Amino acid sequence: MTYFTRPAIVGTITKNVKENAAAGKEKGADLLEIRFDLLLTNTPGFEKYLKNDFDDPILTNWMKEQIKDAKSAGLPIIGTLRSKEEGGAFEGDEDERFKLIKEILYDVDYVDIERKSSKKNIYECRQIAEKSKTKIIISSHFFNEEDMPSLKKMEKVLKKSFEKGADIAKVAVMPETKKDVLKLYQAGLRSETPEKICLIAMGDLGKQTRILAPFYGSILSYGYIDEEAAPGQLPIDQIRKGFQLLGLL
């Protein structure tokens, strides 16, 4: 899997994988992200795996089956199992979560892991990814307006993500003002690794970044297929229309 040479649209799947994978491709997605934590939430009988029974082989086999269903659309797959601390739904401890992530590294094209994860778990994922040719997205989330990072901190976060082994460094923030959104764009402009970063501002103020952030170096734009997976996501077909209007495709 190589890097994209133009901004790519990610369609996030939270339920009905096979159907939404097909719909995502039809609506213009370039990649599909399976949000396993939200998929577990939306699958009757599987909610228990968010809190316990992490070693149950049924869970691992189910995750691999979801990836197989998503791949039927013929698009690259991002696997994400987001922790509750980072805005997801998985409530197990980090080591349990990473056991599952490591199980699917050979099955996906990209895996999203958090920058705040332990050095050990990131390193072990990196070692497996080098063998499996899987690309690693290292993500950082700032969900509250009061946690909005400064420009200097965003630059530092992007740099640290690459130092930890990121192929793509992702920063998602919750802006309080339009100036906060401009800081995000500025971080992209000042990045030493444009087109290997993903910049997202969430919420209503941040909706513009789903289309405009690629002008400032962001290579991925996340949108939804049938329901939002994060505040401020746009439908992927609208993102594609925006890209076309602005000459990004």
C-alpha closest to that of 88 among 132, 33, 135, 127: 33
pLDDT digits (tens, 9 = 90+) for 77-100: 999 999 998 989 999 899 999 999
- 165 three-state secondary structure: coil
Q: Pick out the residues of the known binding site.
A: 33-35, 82, 210, 233
Q: pTM for the full model?
A: 0.95
What percent of the residues of the chain are helix, what percent strand, and what percent coil, each to the nearest 5? 45, 20, 35
pLDDT digit string (tens) for 40-62?
A: 999 999 999 998 887 889 999 99
Give the pLDDT confidence of 124-151 residue by residue, as tens digits.
999 999 999 999 999 999 988 788 999 9
Residues with catalytic function: 141, 170
With contact defined as beta carbons under 8 Å apart, do 113 and 138 qualify?
yes
pLDDT at 13 over 50: yes
Question: Which burial class, exposed, middle or buried, applies to 181 when counting CB atoms under 10 A from its CB (0-12, 13-18, 19+)?
Answer: buried
Binding annotation for 3-dehydroquinate: 33-35, 82, 210, 233
Q: Which domains does the chain possess?
A: 8-245 (3.20.20.70)
